[in-house]
Amino acid sequence: MRWHAPADLEEALLLRGVHGEDVTVHAGGTFLGILMNQGLIAPPALLSLGRVAELRGIEVARGELRLGAMATHLAVERHPEVREGWPMLARAFGLVASRRVRAVATVGGVLADADYASDPPAALSALGARAILRGPGGERSVSIEELILGYYTTCIRPDELLVEVRVPPAPERAVYRKFVSRSSEDRPCVTVAAAHGAAGLAVVVGALAERPQRFDDLCAAAAGDLAAAGAREQLAQDYAARVEPIGDARGSAAYRRRVCAVEVRRALEALAA
């Protein structure tokens, strides 16, 4: 296996453009390592971004949060500006696995892997985050819904790198809930990220299907009625009816559907409190 370790972003983009699909990007490596150890993939070459300092930054610019693709989960969880301005996001990253995993796993890695059973995608989607992709054709910005196409599949082209995630100013209220059916460090069975502000209501359900599930039409119809318990219950039931859950070791499809209804309702209660 060939190992490429560029010293800066320019070199990384050059190597990505030259090798394309013949090279697999190595960010944190927490999920990639599992796949390789289990023999599910055997990439001929790895492109490590570990030395690319430009991708590690976390900053707030003009009210927008900017997360470098190589910023670790632990760095996001502990960053004072994230904790103050986007506490829901800090919570979502802080609930991932264990501290050892969070110290290595990266923002770009968790999105580029498109692993359905991960915490951050749903939270980022609810907050209206966009991923910045860069390649020979320049830079493009895509929503989390546009980025994640299905199981371990994204819209990232073979000659592109995910370089940054940009999160708009935080809404007035936001909450993240994670339900695990086994140990507290296990990957989630169902997650719910909900946000309510000037842009309206957003509810995103994760970890129960191939990609985060959000139904903006349901949210738009219920946005003005969050104070009413009946409206919250109805929206929760509508979400549970529309999701298309899978079954795996963490729960059957039917079980996940029931959990979805409960967790959406609880998230909405937290928003309305």
Asked whether residue 184 carries a pLDDT value surpassing 90, the answer given is no
Express each pLDDT in 49-58 by its tens digit.
999 999 999 9
Residues 130, 57, 108: CA angle, nearest 5 degrees: 45
The CATH number for 2-167, chosen from 3.40.50.720, 3.30.465.10, 3.30.1360.40, 3.40.50.150, is 3.30.465.10
The pLDDT of residue 223: 78
Distances, alpha carbon 206 to alpha carbons 160, 161, 175, 271, in Å: 26, 24, 14, 18
The pLDDT of residue 205: 98
Express each pLDDT in 130-166 by its tens digit.
999 999 999 999 999 999 999 999 999 999 999 999 9
Range(s) of the chain covered by CATH 3.30.465.10? 2-167
- CATH no., domain 173-272: 3.30.390.50
The pLDDT of residue 148: 98
The pLDDT of residue 219: 96
Asked whether residue 224 carries a pLDDT value surpassing 80, the answer given is no
> pTM (2 decimals)?
0.96
Would you place residue 183 in the very low, low, confident or very high pLDDT band (cuts 50, 70, 90)? Answer: confident
Express each pLDDT in 84-140 by its tens digit.
999 999 999 999 999 999 999 999 999 999 999 999 999 999 999 999 999 999 999
DSSP string, the chain: -EEE--SSHHHHHHHHHHHGGGSEEESS-HHHHHHHHTTS---SEEEE-TT-GGGS-EEEETTEEEEETT-BHHHHHH-HHHHHH-HHHHHHHHTSS-HHHHTT-BHHHHHHHT-SS-SHHHHHHHTT-EEEEEETTEEEEEEHHHHEEETTEES--TT-EEEEEEEPSPPSEEEEEEE-SS-TTSPPSEEEEEEEETTEEEEEEESSSSS-EE-HHHHHHHGGGTTSHHHHHHHHHHHHHH-----BTTB-HHHHHHHHHHHHHHHHHHHH-
Q: Residue 273, CB half-sphere, CA atoms under 13 Å: how many?
A: 9
Range(s) of the chain covered by CATH 3.30.390.50? 173-272
Express each pLDDT in 230-259 by its tens digit.
999 999 999 999 999 999 999 999 999 999
Asked whether residue 210 carries a pLDDT value surpassing 90, the answer given is yes
Express each pLDDT in 60-99 by its tens digit.
999 999 999 999 999 999 999 999 999 999 999 999 999 9
